Chains A and B, each alone.
Chain A
Amino acid sequence: MPIVLIVAEQQPDGNLRKATLNAIAAGSQLAQKAGAELHLALLSKDPSKLAEELKGLGAKVVHTAAAPEFEHYLAEVYAPAIAALAQELKADYVGAASTAMGKDLLPRVAARLKAAMATDVTAINGSGADVTFTRPMWAGNVFAEVKLTTPVKVLSLRATEFPAAASGQGASEVKSFTAKIEPSKTKFVDFKEVKSARPELTEARVVVSGGRGTKGDFKEIEALADELGAAVGASRAVCDAGWVPNDLQIGQTGKVVAPQLYIAAGISGAIQHLAGMKSSKTIVAINKDPEAPIFQVADYGLVADLFKVLPELRQALHGLK
């Protein structure tokens, strides 16, 4: 039987990255369409806790490998271990969530496996050996249906397009394996986390985003976000200016979000920003410029000064969180 191998991602804080759950759901969808079996892989300094979480998500086997070298993610250390496991299992598909780690790691795994890869897969089509993948190109302005013709196929899966895998789907077998560890020419130096009490951007139900129009003053954006229990996002311009941390950037080159409600304040709506938020369920735009392109995708547009209307909006929505 063909095998789909999904790589789980452990965050620097030791927790499972939520996007892994979406990747697992995509993996089981693929397994169903390709008539394959779903397996998971986890590399960690101590995989026991996350292995428990990964059990019962619908996978036949959860493969874990423990090594001190896995404490900090490095492509050169992770890729040989994952590629060797994929070879041992004779996996037909290797995938992971389209996160910074997924995008850094998977092409390197694919190179080892002489495999072609599709990035940011949004849909899985067809069945059996004729499975094809849909993925965005040109900043999400085009969707391409692609077929990978190498024996092994590698995929990064866009979390916002797949539901999160739920537990309670039978106990998976947990198998530990001895990972192949190769010396790395790259050393981990440090990781500076941007800590936030707000929900993670790519998982939030509501996102409030600010652009150039804020002139760098995010107080009202943050106050509204806190009122709604929302995450805060930003356009490229404000990240470039250093007004907010880079990891808040939404767009083709930043994060892709698809919340229930997206509120864009002082964001003009450049093509590259729209690529990151166009799939949001309801979009609200607040902008002084009635011609701003953001109004073309907004369900509700308000032509106004954000500094005037954001406090009003916050008061009107008070106590909703």
Chain B
Amino acid sequence: MKILVTAKRVEDPESKIKVKPDGSGIVQEGLKYKINPFDEIGVEEGLRLAAKHGGEVVVVSIGAKEVQESLRHALAMGAHRAVWVNHVGPLDQLGIAALLQKVVEKEKPDLVLLGKQSIDDDQNQVGQYLAEFLGWGQATFASKVESLESEQEKNKAPAIQLGADGKTVRVVREVDNGLATLECTLPAVVTTDLRLNLPRYASLPGIMKAKSKPIEELTPQKLGVDVALKIQVLKLSSPPPRKAGIKVPDVASLVDKLRNEAKAV
């Protein structure tokens, strides 16, 4: 089974994001970067599927040369090879999905795994656009029934179940008020939710080995994709700060404040 997974490079989720005074972007100084956490879950799931059913995990990232760090991270986790779409400058979700479509048409994977959203844009769109562009089925927000502390998780079993004939996958989706299960005919697009798995750490031998794994370089021009922006970000701003609250000494004062000051109860 050939699995294509995405590896977007994003700001570390623990970093404090500050808007530049003129609203033109965020302050880059002091920021750390890493692979988008949802994509990391996609890489892990791809590796588990490949370990169980055999096959290859190909990781793809789009952006300037720094995104190779995310690709190397995925390779160090165990992905077999990487595709880098070299593009400097902003992209929107339409452009990203159009580029991925070309990579998919070239690679012909059985399954494409993407994070359900990237933690910078928070758009939650690319997987769905891609599925429609390809005319494939989609299962978004893939999750599982067991907790992340379960025995099954410790055994690193894939949560995405391959059908007996190898032509379908069964995916449990996290939706409002519960879990929905879908069966998708392959090839298909699946986007990962946080509770699909716990990604492994890259081992030192894994990191060493990743250095010699191939990264193929492509460009939007080579792929024949026009990535002109259809979503223009005009201005960024900080959300209005909440006014500082107070600490209360006991339950009685809390109830008093809720009743008489906030009038919340």
Contact = CB atoms under 8 A, between A and B. Distances in A.
Contacts of B184: 185-187
Contact of A142 (B19, B131, B176, B194): B19
Interface stretch (B63-71, B75-83, B133-141, B208-216): B133-141
Contacts of A223: none
B261 to A, nearest CB: 9
B107 interface: no
Chain B interface helix/strand/loop/mixed = mixed
A116 B247 contact: no
Given A241-B149, A271-B13, A247 B238 contact: no
B51 interface: no
Interface stretch (A44-52, A57-65, A191-199): A191-199
B239 A242 contact: no
A163 B97 CA distance: 33
A282 B178 contact: no
Interface in A224-250: 228, 236, 239-243, 245-247
A242 B137 CA distance: 29
Contacts of A312: 251
Nearest to A122: B239
A290 to B, nearest CB: 8
A149 B94 CA distance: 12
B137 A185 contact: yes
A79 interface: yes
B159 to A, nearest CB: 13
Contacts of B150: 242
A167 interface: no
A141 B237 CA distance: 9
Interface stretch (A29-37, A86-94, A295-303): A295-303
Interface string B116-130: 110111111111110
A300 B245 contact: yes
Given A261-B258, A282-B258, A76 B138 contact: yes
Given A142-B17, A143-B237, A301-B245, A188 B182 contact: yes
A116 B231 CA distance: 6
B238 A246 contact: no
Interface in A298-313: 298-304, 309, 312-313
Contact of B122 (A117, A137, A193): A137
Given A144-B233, A194-B178, A271-B14, A184 B137 contact: yes
B254 A313 contact: yes
Contacts of A240: 147-149, 194-195
A143 B239 contact: yes
Contacts of A116: 92-94, 230-231
Contacts of A247: 174-178
B252 interface: yes
B88 interface: no
Interface string A118-150: 111000000000001001111111111111111
A139 B119 contact: yes
A272 interface: yes
Given A119-B124, A189-B170, A261-B258, A241 B148 contact: yes
B132 A295 contact: no
A169 interface: no
Contacts, number: 259
Contacts of A241: 147-149
A255 B177 CA distance: 11
B122 A138 contact: yes
A252 interface: yes
A75 B230 CA distance: 23
B250 interface: yes
B194 A236 contact: yes
A213 to B, nearest CB: 17
A104 B141 contact: yes
B130 to A, nearest CB: 8
A147 B183 CA distance: 37
B138 A138 contact: no
Interface string B90-124: 00111001000000000000000000110111111
A112 B177 CA distance: 28
Given A140-B239, A146-B231, A301-B248, A111 B177 contact: no
B239 A139 contact: no
Given A282-B258, A300-B258, A302-B248, A193 B124 contact: no
Interface string A284-302: 1000001000011111111
B234 A309 contact: no
18 contacts: A11-B177, A108-B128, A116-B93, A136-B239, A138-B26, A140-B239, A146-B234, A148-B231, A148-B232, A185-B184, A188-B181, A192-B178, A192-B179, A192-B180, A278-B242, A302-B254, A309-B251, A312-B251
Interface of A: 11-12, 17, 74-76, 79, 99-101, 103-108, 110-112, 116-120, 132, 135-150, 184-194, 200, 206, 228, 236, 239-243, 245-247, 252-253, 255, 260-261, 271-272, 278, 281-284, 290, 295-304, 309, 312-313, 316-317, 320
The list of the 10 closest CB pairs from A to B, nearest first, reads A242-B147, A107-B128, A111-B132, A185-B137, A186-B137, A116-B230, A100-B175, A189-B181, A107-B125, A299-B245
